[in-house]
Structure 1
Amino acid sequence: MLKRNKISTSLLVFVQLLFFFCLPKVTSANSVVTAPVLIVYDSLAIGTPYEGNIEALQRILASFSSQVTITSTDKYEAGTLQKFSKVITIHNLEDIPHSSEAFDRDMKSYFGDYMHIGYQLPQLVAQEMGLEVQQHANDTLKITMGQLTEDSIMAKNISYITKFKGTPYGSSTSDNGNVSYPFGVIQGRNAYIPYMVKGNVSELATSFVMKDWLHVNTTGQNYVLLNEIYPFSDLDVLNEVADRLYNAGIPFIASVQPVFSNFQFPAMQRYLETLKHLQSRNGSIVVNAPVVASTISPDIAGLKSQMSAFLDVLAQKEIVPLGISSELYWTYDQHYTDYGLSIFDSGIVYDNRNIRYHTQRNTSSVFQSAMYTIQGKDINKYVNASKIRDSLPMNTAFVYPFPIDRKEMEATLDMLLTSWTTFSDFKNAEHTVRTATNELASHNGHLQINGQVIALNNKMAEVDADHTYVQEVKKSFKTLFSVQNNIFIALILMTLLIFMVFLIIGYRLYRRKFMHQEKSL
Structure 2
Amino acid sequence: MFKRYQIGTSLLLLVNLLFFICFPQITSAAQAETTPVLVVYDSLANGTPFEGNIDAVQRILASLNAQVTITSYDKYEAGMLAKFNKVINISNLEDVSHSPEIFNRDMNGYFGDYMHIGYQLPQHVQQDMGIEVQKQATDTLKISIGQFTQASIIASNISYTTKFKGTSYGTIFSENRKVSYPYGIIHGKNAYIPYLLKGNLSELAASFVLKDWLHVTSTGQNFVVLNEIYPFSDLDLLNEVADRLYSAGIPFIASVQPVFSNFQFPAMQRYLETLKHIQSRNGSIVVNAPVVASTISPDIAGLKAQLSSFLDALAEYEIVPLGIGSELYWTYDQHYSESGLSIFDSGIIYDNQNIRHHTQRNNSSVFNSAMYTIKGKDLNKYINSNQSLKSLPMNTAFVYPFPINRQEMEETLDTLLTSWTTFADYKNEEHSVRTEKNELTSHSGHLQINGQPIALNNTIAEIDSAHTYVQEVKKSFTTLFSVQNNIFIVLILTTLLIFMVFLIIGYRMYKRKFTHQERSL
TM-score, length of structure 1 as denominator length: 0.93
Tell me which residue corresponds to 1:413.
413
Q: Displacement, 1:53?
A: 0.5
The separation in 1 between residues aligned to 2:311 and 2:29, in whole angstroms, is: 24
Tell me which residue corresponds to 1:315.
315
Tell me which residue corresponds to 1:43.
43
Give the gaps of 5 or more residues in structure 2.
1-11
Q: Displacement, 1:237?
A: 1.0
The answer to whether residue 268 in structure 2 is matched with residue 257 in structure 1 is no
The separation in 2 between residues aligned to 1:100 and 1:84, in whole angstroms, is: 19
What is the DSSP-based 3-state SS (H/G/I as helix, E as strand, rest coil) of the residue aligned with 1:267? helix
- The 3 A distance-change label for structure 1 pair 415 and 293 is same
Q: Displacement, 1:26?
A: 3.7
The separation in 1 between residues aligned to 2:28 and 2:397, in whole angstroms, is: 18
The separation in 1 between residues aligned to 2:136 and 2:187, in whole angstroms, is: 24
Question: Which digits, 9 at most, give the CA deviation of each residue in 1:324-360, with x for residues without a partner?
Answer: 0001111111111111000000000001111111111
Q: Displacement, 1:27?
A: 3.9
Tell me which residue corresponds to 1:361.
361
Q: Displacement, 1:392?
A: 1.1
What is the DSSP-based 3-state SS (H/G/I as helix, E as strand, rest coil) of the residue aligned with 2:97? coil
- The 3 A distance-change label for structure 1 pair 30 and 182 is farther
- Tell whether the 8 Å contact from 2:29 to 2:345 is kept in structure 1 after alignment: no
- The 3 A distance-change label for structure 1 pair 308 and 221 is same
What code does the residue aligned with 2:328 have?
A: L
Q: Displacement, 1:217?
A: 0.3
Tell me which residue corresponds to 2:226.
226
Tell me which residue corresponds to 2:446.
446
Stretch moving more, 112-121 or 449-458: 449-458
What is the DSSP-based 3-state SS (H/G/I as helix, E as strand, rest coil) of the residue aligned with 1:440? strand
- The 3 A distance-change label for structure 1 pair 169 and 103 is same
- Tell whether the 8 Å contact from 1:144 to 1:170 is kept in structure 2 after alignment: yes
What is the DSSP-based 3-state SS (H/G/I as helix, E as strand, rest coil) of the residue aligned with 1:183? strand
The separation in 2 between residues aligned to 1:341 and 1:26, in whole angstroms, is: 24
Tell me which residue corresponds to 1:499.
499
- The 3 A distance-change label for structure 1 pair 486 and 174 is same
The answer to whether residue 424 in structure 2 is matched with residue 460 in structure 1 is no
Q: Displacement, 1:30?
A: 12
- The 3 A distance-change label for structure 1 pair 29 and 218 is farther
Q: Displacement, 1:454?
A: 1.6
- Tell whether the 8 Å contact from 1:78 to 1:106 is kept in structure 2 after alignment: yes
Stretch moving more, 495-504 or 288-297: 495-504
The separation in 2 between residues aligned to 1:352 and 1:32, in whole angstroms, is: 26
Q: Displacement, 1:177?
A: 2.5
Q: Displacement, 1:318?
A: 1.2
RMSD between superposed Cα atoms in Å: 2.1
Tell me which residue corresponds to 1:9.
none
What is the DSSP-based 3-state SS (H/G/I as helix, E as strand, rest coil) of the residue aligned with 1:274? helix
Q: Displacement, 1:97?
A: 3.1
The separation in 2 between residues aligned to 1:301 and 1:196, in whole angstroms, is: 38
- The 3 A distance-change label for structure 1 pair 183 and 32 is farther
The separation in 2 between residues aligned to 1:25 and 1:40, in whole angstroms, is: 39
The answer to whether residue 190 in structure 2 is matched with residue 190 in structure 1 is yes
Tell me which residue corresponds to 2:426.
426
Q: Displacement, 1:401?
A: 0.9
What is the DSSP-based 3-state SS (H/G/I as helix, E as strand, rest coil) of the residue aligned with 1:243? helix
- Tell whether the 8 Å contact from 1:34 to 1:216 is kept in structure 2 after alignment: no
Tell me which residue corresponds to 1:91.
91
Tell me which residue corresponds to 1:75.
75
The separation in 2 between residues aligned to 1:72 and 1:327, in whole angstroms, is: 21
Stretch moving more, 68-77 or 496-505: 496-505
What is the DSSP-based 3-state SS (H/G/I as helix, E as strand, rest coil) of the residue aligned with 1:380? helix
What is the DSSP-based 3-state SS (H/G/I as helix, E as strand, rest coil) of the residue aligned with 1:168? strand
The separation in 2 between residues aligned to 1:226 and 1:402, in whole angstroms, is: 5
What is the DSSP-based 3-state SS (H/G/I as helix, E as strand, rest coil) of the residue aligned with 1:180? strand
The separation in 2 between residues aligned to 1:284 and 1:30, in whole angstroms, is: 21
Q: Displacement, 1:25?
A: 6.4
The separation in 2 between residues aligned to 1:135 and 1:65, in whole angstroms, is: 34
What code does the residue aligned with 1:90 have?
A: I
- The 3 A distance-change label for structure 1 pair 250 and 28 is farther
What is the DSSP-based 3-state SS (H/G/I as helix, E as strand, rest coil) of the residue aligned with 2:228? strand
Tell me which residue corresponds to 2:143.
143
The separation in 2 between residues aligned to 1:426 and 1:295, in whole angstroms, is: 32
Q: Displacement, 1:322?
A: 0.6
- The 3 A distance-change label for structure 1 pair 159 and 32 is farther
Tell me which residue corresponds to 2:6.
none
The separation in 2 between residues aligned to 1:219 and 1:31, in whole angstroms, is: 19
The answer to whether residue 160 in structure 2 is matched with residue 160 in structure 1 is yes
The answer to whether residue 365 in structure 2 is matched with residue 350 in structure 1 is no
Identity over aligned pairs, percent = 77
What is the DSSP-based 3-state SS (H/G/I as helix, E as strand, rest coil) of the residue aligned with 1:140? strand
TM-score, length of structure 2 as denominator length: 0.93
Q: Displacement, 1:235?
A: 1.1
What code does the residue aligned with 1:411 have?
A: E
Stretch moving more, 348-357 or 493-502: 493-502
What code does the residue aligned with 1:333 have?
A: D
What is the DSSP-based 3-state SS (H/G/I as helix, E as strand, rest coil) of the residue aligned with 2:35? coil
The answer to whether residue 274 in structure 2 is matched with residue 274 in structure 1 is yes
Tell me which residue corresponds to 2:217.
217
What is the DSSP-based 3-state SS (H/G/I as helix, E as strand, rest coil) of the residue aligned with 1:182? strand
What is the DSSP-based 3-state SS (H/G/I as helix, E as strand, rest coil) of the residue aligned with 1:223? strand
- The 3 A distance-change label for structure 1 pair 24 and 297 is farther
Q: Displacement, 1:309?
A: 1.2
The separation in 2 between residues aligned to 1:28 and 1:45, in whole angstroms, is: 40
Question: Which digits, 9 at most, give the CA deviation of each residue in 1:20-71, with x for residues without a partner?
Answer: 9xx9864468996342111111111111111111111111111111111111
Tell me which residue corresponds to 1:3.
none
- Tell whether the 8 Å contact from 2:140 to 2:175 is kept in structure 1 after alignment: yes
- Tell whether the 8 Å contact from 2:29 to 2:368 is kept in structure 1 after alignment: no
What code does the residue aligned with 2:427 have?
A: K
Q: Displacement, 1:499?
A: 2.2
The separation in 2 between residues aligned to 1:121 and 1:479, in whole angstroms, is: 87
- Tell whether the 8 Å contact from 2:35 to 2:65 is kept in structure 1 after alignment: no
Tell me which residue corresponds to 2:5.
none
Stretch moving more, 52-61 or 508-517: 508-517
The separation in 1 between residues aligned to 2:334 and 2:514, in whole angstroms, is: 91
- Tell whether the 8 Å contact from 1:284 to 1:321 is kept in structure 2 after alignment: yes
